[in-house]
Amino acid sequence: MCLALAWGQTPVHHKIVTHKKDAQELFDQGLFELYGFEFDDARTTFQRATKMDPRCAMCFWGLAMANGPNYNEPEVDAAQAKAAFDAARKAARLARGGSEMEWWLTAALAQRFSGEVGADPRQLANAYRNAMRQVQQHFPKDDDIATLYAQSIIDLRPWQLWGKDGTPAPGTEEAIALLQDVLKRDPKHIGANHIFIHAVEASPHPELGLPSAERLKTLAPRMPHLVHMPAHIYMRVGDYIAAAQSNKAAVAVDRARFKQGMYPAHDLQFLAVAATFAGRSEEALRTVAELEVMARPMVAHMPDADIVLGTRPLVLVEFRRWKDILAIPVDKTAGPVSEALLHFARGVALAETDKADDATDERDAVRRSLKAVPPKDGVGTSDVDQLFAVALPFLDAEIALAQHDPPAARAAFRKAETAEDMLPYAEPPSWFVPVREHFGAFLLRRNELPQAEVVFKRALINNRGSGRALFGLAETLKREGKEEEAQKVEAEYTTAWSTSDVHLTVEDL
């Protein structure tokens, strides 16, 4: 059966009550797709399974799961919500004559959905989490149940599992412990490896996710989201070369499957950002070109795609390609966020080429573009106000430098770095022009070496292994006469920049 073999041999099996072998195969494939966040495919697969065996409770359970909210889509539209509710209700009804485990699972899932218009999604998510806790306590050694329970916990706080101070949100440590137990029993468990990466990526110790990242590189070679997932850890530990490679592999799978939409666009944007951090300008810009072709038609019906179209200007800022920035036409068909980012980049380019008055005009254009942004419009996990609380003072600093006003530049850089610290976690980062790398360069050029050292070291806390920050720190340490430390940092820089196609100087920071 071609559908059952869509991903090759499915590395997931959970025995269900059915006398149809094909229904079992389709259920396993659907569960694999749920674990891989391939929800559109999972809906198709579970729908097919319910046709294969209309009495299969778990096939309807899967259909409800695939239509319901998830970590990357906490709220679904009314049609999906109704489909999920109907499927969950049917699953619970069919499970009355099935196994005890299926009764528990379907009864728990019934708590996740409501037929009432306006039901509180957070209250439903809490009810489901509480019900899954009981299921897991009843079946403490079932790895799929433990993984599903852990997922129900993190779904309560998507992308907010850790505070800015490194404090875990309620439930995060419980989810991590559950997943660690699963991975001790079954290191190759697809779902546990995936969810574990999400659980630890924003933590003070993202390196805990490295074993799962290494496993996912080979466990599901045809499922693009899982191929991409190791990059979430590699970026956080500062291995931008590996992060780029993971996304490059995911993009290749996306192309082979002719995939479109936010996940393939996410893979491309992530590749462009990782390549930028690795100093690979040609790869970053080549990837951006492909990203723009994919994302432009999406803007009208997917507002989040707007920020994606702002990737090119930020990449060009990092590579100091001022002429290329100024050659980009202001595209009025793009959304207001990407338009504002282009005006930001133009302002930086003009300031860097000693055209302070023109740069000031671009700053005004940024503000005009932002007036067209709908209230509460999001940019990944940030909102637009947070993003431009970084961008505008950054641009102010550049303009102040062009006006030969170092005190004003210093104050603006300080304001920008404070705002950058307040940005919520996202991968790739919503803002990938690290303020402290530019601030550190400003201090280094002014020979304010102790301050530059502090700023570059703080930059490396936020972006471990950043080649630009390592270069700036090495140069600072050399000028301070700290030769031994400088040699160590320079060796790290050489590794980080080993695949770069640009040569850094102090002026290039």
- Distant-in-sequence contacts of 240-245, Cβ < 8 A, 24+ apart: 240/274, 240/275, 240/277, 240/278, 240/465, 240/466, 240/467, 240/496, 241/278, 241/496, 241/498, 241/499, 243/270, 243/274, 243/277, 243/278, 244/271, 244/274, 244/275, 244/278, 244/280, 244/283
Domain ranges of the chain: 221-301, 302-374+382-432, 434-508
- Output the pLDDT for position 332: 66
The encoded tokens of residue 61 equal 């359970």
Domain 302-374+382-432: give its CATH code. Answer: 1.25.40
Low-confidence ranges of the chain (pLDDT < 50): 1-4
- Residue 257 is predicted with a pLDDT of 82
User: What's the one-letter identity of residue 369?
Assistant: S
Cβ atoms of 332 and 339 closer than 8 Å = yes
Residues 6+ apart with CB under 8 A from 481: none
User: What pTM was computed for the model?
Assistant: 0.94
Region of residue 502 (left: phi > 0; alpha: psi -120 to 50; beta: else): beta
Provide the pLDDT for residue 259: 75
Contact 357, 398 (CB under 8 A): no
Q: Which of 334, 333, 337 is closest to 367 using CA atoms? A: 337
> For position 302, what pLDDT does the model report?
79
Length of the chain measured in residues: 509
Q: What is the pLDDT of residue 377?
A: 59
Domains 221-301 and 434-508 share a fold: yes
Q: How far apart are CA 381 and CA 377, in angstroms?
A: 10
CA–CA separation, 43 vs 94, rounded Å?
Answer: 19
Angle between helices 143-154 and 121-138 (to 10 degrees): 160
Q: In sequence order, which ranges of 403-482 are alpha helices (DSSP H)?
A: 406-421, 435-445, 449-462, 467-480
Spell out the CATH class of 434-508.
Answer: mainly alpha
First to last CA, the chain: 56
Query: Phi/psi at 8 (nearest 5 deg)?
Result: 80, -155
Could you tell me which of 340, 260, 253 has the C-alpha nearest to residue 298?
A: 260
Query: Residue 118: its pLDDT value, please?
Result: 80
Predicted confidence at residue 1, as pLDDT, reads 46
CA distances from 138 to 89, 134, 147 (A): 22, 6, 14
Q: What is the DSSP string of 200-253?
A: HTTSS-GGGGHHHHHHHHHH-TT-HHHHHTHHHHHHHHT-HHHHHHHHHHHHHH
* Of the candidates 106, 68, 71, 66, the residue with the CA atom closest to the CA atom of residue 89: 106
> Could you give the CA distance from residue 408 to residue 397 in angstroms, rounded to a whole number?
7
- In CATH terms, 221-301 corresponds, of 1.25.40, 2.20.25, 3.30.70, 1.10.10, to 1.25.40
